[in-house]
Every structure is written in structure tokens, then in C-alpha cells.
A and B are shown apart, each in its own frame.
Chain A
């Protein structure tokens, strides 16, 4: 799926930047180090916004587009930060045949957040995930790690209400 660009304001701290620079410098001269650098960057910031990718581009001499090409290719890299309320709906096969497609649409409508993005204020994020191994509970969604199973579209609004 085409990755959505974030509208959330970047709130990186000097400490994070220091860590990032240390992580980049660790791989100085190592070939093919962009993947581990991006992984470390994501574990520092939680996602890979343009501000972070620019620092990486500048310090490695790799063009920003090349980095973005990698970040937008791999599903594991996130261009949007998790919201304070992070919703993930499983679109694995079992959940999907049990109607998780409608569930995710409903969540998106209720929260006014497109799938794969985060509301501009950073409050809500919505992600489609691959199978999370809870097929018995299909269709499943998680909110901040808490699992909600055997969902129906009608229940969605009520569950979300708890996090408003």
C-alpha cells in the first residue's frame, strides 16, 4: 500500500538526535548499513519523519530519496508516529474473511483518521496489521496493546469512546 505522509508536527529532542548520530556513526564505512541505521532511528523516534531522514542523509551522504525509497518500501518502517491512542486492525486472512475490512473502515470513520496515518494532533493513529496470531478471536483489533476480539461494526464506536 502507498505509505501516507505524516501531518504530525515533529517533536524530536536533542537527546534523540544525539543517539541517532551515535547510531549512524557506528556504521561509518560499513556497506549496506542503511537498513540497520533506519531500524535504530525508528527505535529512537518511533517512526521516520523527514527531519530524521534528513539527518541520516546528511551524515551518510546517501541521497534523501534513496533513503525514502527504502523507508517507503518496507512495511516495518513507519512514516507516521503512533498516536497516543494507537489502533491496529488485523487484516490477516482469518480476520479479513470475518469482516475486519468493515471494522477498519468504521474505525477510520469514527476517528477521522485514514488507514496508515495519524491525526494531525498526534492523538489517534490507525494501522492495518498482518496476522497477529489471534485468529480464534477474529476479527481482532488492538488499542495501545489491548486486544478486542470477535468484533462487530456496531461495537466499534462504544469501544473507541473509552479512549476519547
Chain B
């Protein structure tokens, strides 16, 4: 690696030649504040919070934006002079002069990059008074946009367009009128937004947030006539700790279950179980399509952000989607049919909640063809994100960090390792391969690991020889990558039979409903990898590695569904799609 010598605040450092001043300083453990900068995604030098003074070739010091300014050999950098501090402070005051400053009620208060900087720099009310903008809040979808808090950093714009390949939000008009919105000022509901929530987790402030559905849950919990049940997605346990000050990558399954029980849920269940059920249904469907003819490549259907993306951007490929409902919807469907019958409950008396890492799942609960019990009874009543679960626990005054571990409730308490890894990119593929391999080979699988499909790369391709059959597979996460992959499939450049797609980069562990980490943490920790490690660890420690060995799943087939892909299974566990187009 080529390096250069620089002086930062009077001390010498050797730094990579292609580094920016910001990267060089951070490598030297000197932090420089940023607001608009998102590593690799949004490097536009817009907010000017990262101002530093540099001198090159002995010339006088001048101010530059550290996030985009490259280092040169012999450069001298000062990151904390009174002049810099005064300039940063003024930039914050200018931002606040057109900001609604209602921190007390703001969903991001205490986790807001702007608020943190204002506290650090001693900025409270703005000394600049003048005209302010007033925007109506767009709150008709699970993604809520409040431009009154927007600082125009454009991080959301870059993520939506460049990473997700959607691009439904951007900067409209100019100057003082500049604001983030959709084309022709349409609300998000009228666009091809896929509800992935990646804009939310990358927004530094409270201008983007999910629709809060916790009120509905609290109300139901207080209603003695309701059976209020909850299931938690594989990756929620791996991230919920971040709401309570744990490092990213801390497994808090036991405390999470204890907290939910303390909140008053009558049943606290493990969605890993219906992840297993999904695998049994989906891999059976796949083998059926490969051996019996059917639309190939088959594409997984458990990520509702991806489903909506497919419906908008690849409507001609909706036949390729597996017809399996997602694990969340399967869970609700099973509870409101099989379990309601078993318990003698009227399905209308059940309020089924799912705790999920995902904002798109809030959209999914309201989709058509998601009512196994009929009569318009939704499979899942309320979907709440990891963040909302965290807020409920806090609001209820539950001391999360000091809870004793507890276990999920029977009969939905068993999940295999294959179900656990559903939360990471490549996990569904690996789980399906563990099942499909046994189905095709008619023998027990010795080696259950498929490391080729693991890891955080955006697109992965692999081929497996199963007897006479070679199964070629591909995995993509982030819908921008999905678009690239599917274009290759459409053009014939890539020939595969099975594709796993998750809408969020890295999969659910990096979902749009997960605890928000500020940009400087996202720059130094690969959240996708450290969070996924929790799931792979769960998998390797689990005695059960394969979905088909899950006795709770087998029992569902014995008592209720008969065979995988039976007529009953089709009716309850499968769904249909809409060709939306653009």
C-alpha cells in the first residue's frame, strides 16, 4: 500500500496515499464530526461540519471539508482550532435556523447526530431568525417523512437510489425551497417505494421514521378478551440489545423473551420455527419445479421489500417468485387456523403481533391474499420493528439489562439453526440447500455447511452437485444488487435455478427496522457481518441444523397440513403477487 506522511494536530502519522483527511484522522483515532458523509455511499461535502484546516507545501492553512479532501504528502492538518470550532458551530446554527427543534417529542432524541453535535458544540437556539419552511408530514405508508427535521444531507437519497436502485426520493426545487420529496411532489404511497426503510436507518436525524404501531399493541395487551401473541424474527434477538446499550453483535434472545413476557404477551414464540416451515414448503416447491417443470429460476419470497421491488421493476418475473408466504405471514396463518382450532379460540379474538427487523413487513401485513382464516381476518395483525419493541420495553419500565434469560413458549418454541440464519444474506439459500439436498439425494446430509453462499458480498453465485443434478444458485442482498443480478439472468449471462434475494444489504440483520447506529459507527463496524455472526453462531451451536429435523414442524404436518405443498398447505401457507410496474 502506498503511503504518505502527514501531521495531524502537530503529530506525525503515516497514512494510505488514497485516504481522505477524514479517513486519515479517524485512523489516527481523532474524530472529526460529520453529518452528510456516509462511507462509499454519500461523499458529497454538503453539510460542511467536517471542516478542518490544512496546509500543503508550506502554504498557509485554509479550511477544507475533510470527508472529501484527499491527503497529500507532507500535509499538515489541524482538526480543532478555535476558527474551526467557530465555523462548525455556525454551520450548526444555520442548520437549526430552519429546523423544528422539537427534540422532546422527537423519535430520534438521544440518538440524533444533529442533537449530539449541538450538545457538543453548545448550540441551542439559533441566533439566526428569519423565514422557516413548514412541510406537511407524509405519513400514509410505513415510512414516514417529516421534512421539518430534514437537514438536506441527502443520505437517504443516495441509499434509495444508489444502493437500493429505487430512487423515489430526491432533492426538489432549489435554494431555500430545496426539500426532499418524490417526483411531482407525490406522496411515497404513489411511488414505487418498497418500504425497505434503508433511508430511515441512514438518516442522521428524525426526518425519517417508521409508523409507530405500538399503541395498538399496548391497547390489546390491556384487553382481557384478547389473546395477544407475539413471534420474533431470527434477527431481532441479535439486535435488540443495541436499544439497551449493548455492542452490536450481542445475542439477547433470553432477555428479549423475558421482556416480552413481562410486557404481558400470552405467548412468546420463535419465528425460527416458521422459517423452518418456509424452508420445507419452499424447497419442496423448488424441487418440484426443477423435476416437474415450473418457472425457473425460482426466487425466494420471504423479503417483502424485495417482493414489492419485483412487482414494480420486474413484473414479468413474478411467476418466478416462490408462492410461499414469508415466515411472519406463515406464523400468523398457522396461529389463526391450526392453533385457534386446537385451543378452541375464535381467530378474531387473537391479536397476533410479529417483531421484525423490517419496515416492509408493516406493509406486508396489509397485502391481499394474506388471510388464512378467511373473513378478512389478517394473518398478522401488527408488525413492530426491533426499534418499536425496544421502545415498548423502555416505556413499560422493564429493566432489560437485568432480566434473567427465559425461553420461548411451547408449542412454537423450537427453531433449527437453518431457521436462525434466515436473518442474514445467504441464510435462506443455505437452509433451503440443507433440505433440498436430502430431498434429492434421499440420504442424510453429512456436511450441512454451505460456506460459498455466506458473507456480505452483494452478489454470490455457487453450484452444487447433488447426485446427477447440478443445482446452480445465486444470492443477492440490497435491491440494487438484485437488479444487477436479475438483468444478468434475463439476458442469459447467468443461468441459475434458485435465487435468494433480500431487500436490505446484508439481509434482515441490516434491516430498515433495526436499531439505528450513527454514521461513524457504520463506517467503522460492518454491522452486516457482526450482527450476522450472532446468527451463524446460533446455528453452529444448535443441535438441530436442518429445518426438516424440527419436530415442531413435523408435528404441524402430522396434525394439520399432511404433506409439504399439500392442498391445505397451499391454501394457508402460500400467496399471490401483483404485477405493479412503474
A: residues with CB less than 8 A from B are: 1-3, 5, 50, 53, 57-58, 63-69, 72-74
Contacts and interface: CB of A to CB of B under 8 A. Distances in A.
16 contacts: A2-B177, A3-B173, A58-B582, A63-B167, A63-B183, A65-B169, A65-B170, A66-B161, A67-B183, A68-B170, A68-B182, A69-B170, A69-B172, A73-B173, A73-B174, A74-B174
Contact of B177 (A1, A57, A65, A67): A1
Contacts of B173: 1-3, 72-73
A62 to B, nearest CB: 8
Interface in B140-169: 161, 166-169
Interface in B532-582: 582
Contacts of A73: 171-174
A1 B191 CA distance: 24
A144 B57 CA distance: 59
Nearest to A50: B184
Given A2-B177, A3-B173, A65 B182 contact: yes
Nearest to B169: A65
Contacts of B171: 69, 73
A53 B183 contact: yes
A50 B183 CA distance: 8
A58 B172 CA distance: 20
Contacts of B183: 50, 53, 63-65, 67-68
Given A5-B185, A64-B183, A72 B161 contact: no
B168 A65 contact: yes
A69 B177 CA distance: 12
Interface centre among A3, A5, A64 (most CB of B within 10 A): A64
Interface of B: 161, 166-174, 177, 182-185, 191, 582
B184 A5 contact: yes
Nearest to B171: A69
A69 B170 CA distance: 7
Nearest to B582: A58
B266 to A, nearest CB: 45
B161 A63 contact: yes
A72 B174 contact: yes
B177 A66 contact: no
A74 B174 CA distance: 8
A83 to B, nearest CB: 20
A50 B172 CA distance: 14
Interface centre among A5, A50, A72, A74 (most CB of B within 10 A): A72
Given A50-B184, A53-B183, A63 B168 contact: yes
Nearest to B133: A2
B166 to A, nearest CB: 7
Given A68-B170, A69-B171, 11 more contacts: A3-B173, A50-B184, A53-B184, A63-B167, A63-B170, A65-B168, A65-B169, A65-B183, A66-B170, A68-B182, A73-B173
A8 to B, nearest CB: 14
A76 to B, nearest CB: 12
A64 B168 CA distance: 7
Contacts of B172: 68-69, 72-73
A72 B177 CA distance: 10
Contacts of B168: 63-65
A123 to B, nearest CB: 23
B315 to A, nearest CB: 13
Nearest to B175: A1
Contacts of A66: 161, 167, 170
Contacts of B582: 57-58, 64
A72 B168 CA distance: 15
A40 B398 CA distance: 63
A67 B177 CA distance: 17
Interface centre among B170, B183, B191 (most CB of A within 10 A): B183
A67 B183 CA distance: 8
A98 B433 CA distance: 78
A57 B182 CA distance: 14
B500 to A, nearest CB: 25
Contacts of B182: 65, 68
Nearest to A75: B174
Interface centre among A1, A63, A73 (most CB of B within 10 A): A63
Contacts of B184: 5, 50, 53, 68
A50 B167 CA distance: 16
Contacts of B166: 63
Top 8 A-B pairs, shortest CB-CB distance: A63-B167, A68-B183, A64-B183, A65-B170, A69-B170, A2-B177, A65-B183, A73-B174
Contacts of B191: 65
A155 B304 CA distance: 62
A65 B182 CA distance: 6
Contacts of A63: 161, 166-168, 170, 183
A159 B107 CA distance: 55
Contacts of A74: 174
A34 B138 CA distance: 29
A67 B161 CA distance: 12
A58 B313 CA distance: 11
Contacts of A50: 183-184
Contacts of B177: 1-2
A3 B184 CA distance: 10
A1 B131 CA distance: 14
Nearest to A62: B167
B42 to A, nearest CB: 15
A65 B165 CA distance: 12
A130 to B, nearest CB: 14
Nearest to A68: B183
A5 B182 CA distance: 13
